[in-house]
Amino acid sequence: MSSYNAINGVPAVANNLTLNVLLRRTFGFTGYVTSDCGAVGTTYRRPDGAGVALGNDPATAALATSGHDWAPPGWSTNHGDQTALWSKNGTLTSVSGRAGGEAWSLRTGTGLNCVGFNGQVGHPAFWDPLRPVFSDENRLQYIQLAITAGILSEGVIDRELLPEFTLRMRTGEFDPRSNQPYTRINKRVIQSPAHQKLTQTVADETLTLLQNNRPRGARKPLLPVRAAKVKNVVVVGDQANKVFLGDYSGDPDEQVSLLEGIKRALPRAQVTYDSGNSSTTSTQPPSLRPDTQAAIRKADLVVVMVGTDAGVNTEGYDRKTLALPGNYQRLIKQVAGIGNPRIVLVDQSAGPVDLTAVRRDVASILFSAANGERQGRAAADAILGKVNPSGHLSFTWYSGDGQLPPKSDYNLTPSRTAGLGRTYMYFTRKPTYPFGYGESYTSFRYSRARVSRRRIPATKTLRVSFRVTNTGHRAGATVAQLYAASPRVHGVELARQRLVGFKRTKVLKPGRSQEITIAVALIPALRVWKAQLGREVVYPGTWRFRIARSSRRIASSLPVRITGSIPRTINTVSLAPPQLTLKPGQELNLRGRNQWLDGLAPTQYQSKGDTIITAVRRDDSFVDLTNAPLGFSTDRPSVLRVDRNGVTTAVAPGVATVTVKIDGVTASTPFVVTGA
């Protein structure tokens, strides 16, 4: 899917570098690309257009119409937003931005336009079939105007329809319904007992224990709490009494909130609930009822739930800050101020939130993202020890906005981000919780670390083995992680380390161990792009493979000397003719260029992005095919001939597949020969 952003100043939906040069030519992708809904319109819309105000409100974000006010190379725009007009420099040729946006998106490889503007807010099952009718960005007339203006052809459209219809046929869409297994997958199948059990397992294993301290006056951490000792429990926060499944979820019949999960787990306890007049969007002070405050003072357990929901992040609407949304920080402070130290904070949020001001106000913190239909049951099971949390963070938990470069800055390295660095690979500050972090109710020891080879060619697979032992008093599992740190390379700013493997242990009883082996295919794991050479490399030298509990808690570090380089053998061959339909007698030279890709690629890729045939080596460098020995063949020479020089000649109506071969690697495409 091509998105709403621009890359190096070119909208993603019309970005030839990413969609054609990289995705198709370099990586060998043969499927189709659809736009994010409304993204084709970002080519011509202005960033300060009428849709900006809509985008600032989550209720109308789906109607946002802002864009990049772009025009392709050699063209200019009148900056008309919805009425944009593109003019070809030095000529009298002009075309509407809507027609141009369709044309350049199709030419670069966005084959399907998922419309967005004038889409209606409501249930998708009702509105999705109607969106193409109400949209103004995917009209047939725009395609016709683009073809008339000479900036698009039916051949380009055929090229994009080929993979789309191929996949639809492979999945059986055009077969009789009785032969389609998907038609038998109804809600009863989706909500089968086996699937609900899987949902529970996923929710249990997703929960991440971020903090587990001893409450004031206690001799051990708060969690897990023994259910038999909980007579009175207080649950606080609006999030605790609802189930947030996130965008693109289904609507399952079973939805268990945290409040319901605790009630089911503690059927004999007195459970007091109070939303505290809290929400993700409230700017008012929270307020706890007097009876709630009294219940908190004598409670055996207090559970506060906060997080994010559709009020602060949803389709087309992102959070603008890492701060706890709404009045949640004040809610936590108000609960803690009553004086009961036995507080568990449950945070269900889309990524990190700033917990700096409240971490000392609570004993324990559990985290998950939107955790499915049984999220409340999973949290209750973790709090009461039925499940030992084993989740680990898949992101860096930054302490606040000050640790983030501007959102419009895509750079990663410290030198390009005012010294900060981005992601665990480059981040230079101390986060609240590092990438890979996750605590447990038990403890684990890592021992007997070893590698299969101390010196190894880059083309091989390294195996790193070690033993994980449960040294605590409760059964539990953990996620062992393996990072690789590169040797220093003069003049190159490399990542501090990178995750090259991980493995979750089985649930280990106290005192039990498990032998773990992580296999690392070195080229895919360690390769980096070297712009000066125009290819990827694996830097030779001594790498350190770190067995770790998280990206910042290393258990063992094993040096391995890596030699050699990425073989310069051919990895992918692609075939992208300008048209797939020919008439008898018509010729097409496959060694030529595709005029519909001409001038679209960045300058350094221009000789690589618009040829009909490309070959790319394993190091992602392009092969100069000018004098390369290519082999050509056709499966139906009576329909289409191809000679040794790659010149195809249509013979008679029918369908034929042409194949090109170099060094044993092939690419094929069908041609249709129509009547004269």
DSSP sequence for 179-243:
G-GGGG--HHHHT-HHHHHHHHHHHHHH-EEEEEPPPTT-SS-SPSPPGGG-SEEEEESGGGGS-
**Range scoring the smallest mean pLDDT among 26-40, 389-403, 448-462:** 26-40
249 — pLDDT class (breaks 50, 70, 90):
confident
Q: What per-residue confidence (pLDDT) applies to 602?
A: 60
The chain-wide mean pLDDT, for the chain, equals 92
Beta-bridged to residue 468, according to DSSP, are: 446, 514
Task: Single out the residue of 87, 52, 55, 71 nearest to residue 14, CA to CA.
Answer: 71
How large a percentage of the chain has pLDDT more than 90? 83
Where b means 16+ CB within 10 Å and e means fewer, 542-563 reads ebbbbbbbbbbebbbebebebe
Domain with CATH 3.40.50.1700 in the chain: 191-396
Asked whether the beta carbons of 269 and 231 are under 8 A apart, the reply is: yes
CA 84, CA 94: separation in Å to the nearest integer? 11
pLDDT of residue 119: 38
- Portions of the chain given CATH number 2.60.40.1080: 570-673
Q: What residue ranges of the chain are covered by domains with CATH 2.60.40.10?
A: 444-563
CB within 8 Å of 92: residues ≥ 6 apart: none
Of 18, 23, 21, the residue nearest 6 (C-alpha) = 18
Q: Are 145 and 125 in contact (CB under 8 A)?
A: no
**Which pLDDT value is given to residue 248?**
81
Q: SS3 of 15, please? A: coil
d(CA 363, CA 439): 14
Banded pLDDT at 137 (limits 50, 70, 90): confident
What is the architecture, at CATH level 2, of domain 444-563?
Answer: Sandwich (2.60)
User: What average pLDDT does the segment 421-433 reach?
Assistant: 97
**pLDDT at residue 433 above 80?**
yes
> For 191-396, which CATH superfamily applies?
Glycoside hydrolase family 3 C-terminal domain (3.40.50.1700)
What pLDDT, on a 0 to 100 scale, did the predictor assign at position 599? 72
Per-residue model confidence (pLDDT) at position 52: 53
Q: Kindly report, residue by residue over 340-381, the tens digit of the pLDDT.
A: 999 999 999 999 999 999 999 999 999 999 999 999 999 999
pLDDT higher for 36 or 126?
A: 36
Please list the residues that pair with 34 across neighbouring strands.
Answer: 112
Q: What is the pLDDT of residue 117?
A: 45
DSSP string computed for 75-104: EEE---GGG-EEEETTSS-EEEHHHHHHHH
Whether the pLDDT of residue 48 is over 90: the answer is no
Which residue has tokens 């045939």? 613
Average pLDDT over residues 493-518: 98
- pLDDT average, residue stretch 551-558: 98
* Percent of the chain as helix, strand, coil, to the nearest 5: 25, 25, 50
pTM for this predicted structure: 0.92
Checking DSSP bridges between strand 301-307 and strand 343-348, what pairing results, if any?
parallel
Greatest C-alpha distance within the chain? 92
Residue listed under structure tokens 């997958």: 185
Q: Is the pLDDT of residue 458 over 50?
A: yes
For the chain, the straight-line distance linking the first and the last C-alpha, in angstroms and rounded, comes to 38
- Tens of pLDDT, residue by residue over 183-230, are 889 999 999 999 999 999 999 999 999 999 999 999 999 999 999 999
Measured over the CA atoms of residue 604, residue 607, residue 612 and residue 616, the dihedral's sign is negative
Fold of 570-673: Immunoglobulin-like (2.60.40)
Question: Cα separation of 554 and 294, whole Å?
Answer: 45
Taking the C-alpha atoms of residue 659 and residue 675, their distance in angstroms, rounded to an integer, is: 23
pLDDT of res. 598:
82
- What's the CA gap between 272 and 261, in Å, rounded? 13
Number of other residues whose CB lies within 10 A of the CB of residue 269: 18
**84: Cβ contacts below 8 Å, ≥ 6 apart:** 44, 45, 46, 69, 77, 78, 96, 97, 98
The pLDDT of residue 129 is above 60: no
pLDDT in tens, 56-113: 555 554 455 589 999 998 999 999 988 999 999 999 999 999 999 999 999 999 999 9
Residue 12 confidence (pLDDT) above 90: yes
Q: Count CB atoms within 10 A of the CB of residue 404.
A: 17
pLDDT at 670 over 50: yes
Which whole number is the average pLDDT over 113-137? 55
Two tokens, residue 640? 């289409």
580-613 residue pLDDT tens? 999 999 999 999 999 999 877 666 665 677 899 9
Residue 123: which pLDDT band, with cuts at 50, 70 and 90? Answer: very low
What DSSP element (H or E) covers 554?
A: strand 553-563
**Is residue 470 very low, low, confident or very high in pLDDT (cuts 50, 70, 90)?**
very high
Rounded CA separation 446/475 (Å): 16
Query: Looking up tokens 């979750």, which residue turns up?
Result: 504
Amino acid letter, residue 654: G
Instruction: Indicate whether 118 pLDDT > 60.
Output: no
- What's the pLDDT at 213? 98
557: helix, coil or strand? strand
What is the DSSP track for 393-452?
Answer: -SS-B-SSGGGS--TT----SGGGTTT--SHHHH--S--SB-TT--B-SS-EEEEEEEES
DSSP label at residue 371: -
pLDDT value of residue 121? 38
Burial of 60 (0-12, 13-18, 19+ CB in 10 A): middle
Model confidence band, residue 133 (pLDDT cutoffs 50, 70, 90) = low
Q: What pLDDT shows up at residue 604?
A: 60
Interatomic CA distance for residues 537 and 142, integer angstroms:
44
Which pLDDT belongs to residue 122?
A: 40
Would strands 654-662 and 631-634 be described as parallel, antiparallel, or unpaired? antiparallel
The answer on pLDDT for 257 being more than 50 is yes
For residues 485 and 40, give the distance between their C-alpha atoms in angstroms, rounded to a whole number: 40
Mean pLDDT on 430-443? 98
Structure tokens that stand for 418 in this block: 């005012």
Mean pLDDT of 522-549: 96
Structural contact between residues 232 and 300, judged by C-beta atoms closer than 8 angstroms: yes
DSSP 10: E
**Region 26-37: what's the mean pLDDT?**
94
The per-residue pLDDT for range 312-344, each reduced to its tens digit, is 988 777 889 999 999 999 999 999 999 999 999
Check residue 405 and give left, alpha or beta (phi > 0: left; psi -120 to 50: alpha): beta
Q: At how many degrees (to 10) do helices 154-170 and 97-108 cross?
A: 60
Which residues, 6+ apart, have CB-to-CB distance to 618 below 8 Å?
523, 566, 567, 568, 569, 570, 571
